[in-house]
Every structure is written in structure tokens, then in C-alpha cells.
Amino acid sequence: MSLVLQICPDYYYTNLYKNLFLKLKNKNINQIVYVPGQRLYEDHQLEIDTLNKTYNIIERILFFGKQNDIYNDIISKSYFEKIGIMHAHNLFSGGYAAYRIFRKYKIPYIVAIRNTDVNIFLKYMVHLRKMANKILESAENIIFISPAYKDKVLNTYINKSIKKNIQNKSLVIPNGIDEYFLGNLNVKKEINYNNRIRLIYVGEITKNKNIRTTINACLKLIDQGYDVNFKIVGVIKESGLIRQINKYDFIHYYGKCPKEKVLTHLRDSDIFVMPSIHETFGLVYAEALTQGLPVIYTKGEGFDGFFAQGKVGYAVESNDYNSIAKYVIEIYENYETYSKNCIKEAIKFGWNNIAELYINLYK
């Protein structure tokens, strides 16, 4: 197979790309990871190339100056003529350069659409929408991280004249989860039916994660006679939230934990709740599934659409604490069925399966 150029602006900020690229490398995919930004550290496991230049917020908003730098830098590389396919992991930052290279050199490309593409560029930078349609129209395939984002983009930002074409070459391929969780599946999860319900949230704690709404749902459940325990695991970055947490005895805060401890916390809980305002995908939902925990997630955001409502949990409006409480009770009263479904479906988020999907596209 020809060289795959992975254009990946966010490589240094999350391990999910490295996990994918290493899995592809192990499957004999010849690739170079191009990061259009400053090199933050050396990575000797993969061949990394960078633009190695920083941009201020104004330069990023103006967009075209940085994108021209990326385009010119790629075509100046010694490996350029060996490239058989490009995989741009963002629609705008990288996708535009791939589009220009395709137009001039006929090298095909795949493009992914992620959270910043949908909730910043497409939403607020109206002047870039026409260009986004051109990038998508020329792409070989378009990758969405979730069904919810696919529906949102197709129904909101795509010109009607090309919508069918875009839809026909669009696929949903989720992010994969750390193999540690799939390697430690909780093959049987049980609940103690004594009106005690143990909820959990794991992750960075910001206003977007909507912890206050979950707390309100807990208070409603307590008013209905349930013995609720709400465990919060992660670093708090929301102003004033720690004061609210300290008001209630049913909330237990643990701070940031290593994955081994996160696994223990998940196994000691019953239901994972994260009604984020915005969510690209939400790896922690899938991690919770591996431990048999049904999940409550946000309607129309990242995780929504992977499963039918009621299969492994429920989608809710982000601020609807009444629905959260209602679905917690529904899951609690039929827990064994939900939990078995979760463990069975978790394998879909393994990097091995996801890498094979990408390899088929590259071929």
C-alpha cells in the first residue's frame, strides 16, 4: 500500500490518535503523521513530521494564512511524491490543505469532522461554510465520530445540491478506548436491590460536563425515597462547583485517578451519568460499558445514535434532570438486562476493529 499521510492537528493533545496510528503500524500500514503545529515532544514509535510553528488566536481565526503554510510545507517534503492517500483528521485544520493537494495533484483524501469543526468553525465562521462544502464534495470518504454529528452536519450545513453525494460517502467510525478496559471486561455486573443507587461521573469537570444537573437529578431521586450515592472522579475546573459538592453527604469526590483506580470506581458503581452540553464522542461512556454500567448521555450529541434508546442507556436533554431521574429508575428496575447489553456492545469500541475499518477505506 502507498504511503498514508495522517494530517493530525491534535496529535499531541490526546492519546487516541497515537493508539490508532500504532495499531495501523502493527498492521503494516506505511504512514507519516504530520502535525500542523509546534512539536511538543519526540515520539520514537511513529514517524512524526511537524510544521513546528505556533500561531496566535488571530492567525487561527483568519484561517487562510496558517492553512497556506500547511499546504506549502507538505508539498515541500521529501516524501510528498510517495503519498498515496491523505487522511485529514479535521475538516478545517488539515482538510483544506488536503483539498488543495487533491485539486492540484489528484491525491485522494479522507476527512474527519470533529467537535471544533461543528461547534466552532461551521457554527460561527459562516464565511467558511462554502469552502467546507467543497472540501467534503471532493473527499473520497467523510468520517463522523458519531451518528449525532453526522445528522447535524448533513441537515444543517450541507448544500442541498450535494447532500445525497455527501451522505453516500459518509461513515460513522467511533474513537476507540484504552485496551486496558476491554482487557478487563466485567463479565457479570449485579446490583443490590435495596433502593440504593450508585451513580458515577469520570472525567475533567467543567461547566460543559453539567455536573450540577446530575446533582439535581440525585436530589429528585432522594425525594422519591432512593438512597443515592454520586461519585465524581476527575479534576474540577468549574468555578464554585466544589462548594456545591461539599454541601451534600451523598456526593463523594475523588479527584484525578489512574486508569486502574478508575476501573475500580466503575465496578463499584451502577450507572454512569454525563449529560454534557456538547460532546464529540465521550470515550468514558464506552469505558463505562466495559464494566457493565448503563449510561445516560446527551440527546443529539456525541454518543447519541450508536445504540437505540434503551439498549445500553438513555439520551436526555442536557439540562433535563427530571428525565435523568426517570431513566435512572428505569435502568435500576431492569438492571441485569441493561448491564448485559453494555458488556456485549463494548467490543465495538476496540482499536483493533476500528483500525480494520480504516484499512479497508485506505485500500
Among the listed residues 120, 175, 86, the one whose alpha carbon sits nearest the alpha carbon of residue 361: 86
pLDDT of residue 265: 96
183, 61: one domain: no
18, 144: one domain: yes
66, 22: one domain: yes
76, 164: one domain: yes
191, 335: one domain: yes
66, 156: one domain: yes
Helices 335-345, 283-290: inter-axial angle, 10-degree rounding: 110
Asked whether residue 355 is assigned to any structural domain, the reply reads: no
Which segments of the chain are extended strands (E)?
3-7, 31-35, 48-50, 83-88, 109-113, 141-144, 170-172, 196-202, 227-233, 251-253, 271-273, 295-298, 313-316
pLDDT of residue 1: 64
pLDDT of residue 136: 98
Give bridge partners of residue 316 from the DSSP assignment: 298
Quote the CA–CA distance of 247 and 50 in Å, as a whole number. 48
Contact indicator for 88, 116 with CB cutoff of 8 Å: no
Asked whether residue 136 is assigned to any structural domain, the reply reads: yes
36, 81: one domain: yes
Q: What is the mean pLDDT of each run of 10 residues along the chain (363 residues)?
A: 91 92 95 91 90 76 85 94 96 95 97 90 93 97 92 94 96 91 86 86 92 96 96 90 90 93 95 90 92 94 90 96 97 94 93 94 93
21, 143: one domain: yes
Asked whether residue 362 is assigned to any structural domain, the reply reads: no
pLDDT of residue 336: 93
Quote the CA–CA distance of 36 and 94 in Å, as a whole number. 8
Domain boundary residue, one of 157, 173, 189: 173
Asked whether residue 361 is assigned to any structural domain, the reply reads: no
Domain boundary residue, one of 173, 204, 224: 173
164, 193: one domain: no
Q: How many independent structural domains does the chain possess?
A: 2
Longest dimension (CA), the chain: 68
141, 86: one domain: yes
- Give the count of beta carbons closer than 10 Å to the beta carbon of residue 30: 13
Asked whether residue 359 is assigned to any structural domain, the reply reads: no
Domain boundary residue, one of 145, 173, 201: 173
Asked whether residue 292 is assigned to any structural domain, the reply reads: yes
pLDDT of residue 57: 73
What CATH number did the domain enclosing 89 receive? 3.40.50.2000
What SS3 class is residue 273? Answer: strand
Asked whether residue 354 is assigned to any structural domain, the reply reads: no
Structural domain of 48: 3-173
Q: Indicate the pTM of the whole model.
A: 0.85
Asked whether residue 360 is assigned to any structural domain, the reply reads: no
92, 241: one domain: no
Quote the CA–CA distance of 57 and 20 in Å, as a whole number. 29
86, 203: one domain: no
Q: Helix, strand, coil: what percent of the chain each, to 5? A: 45, 15, 35
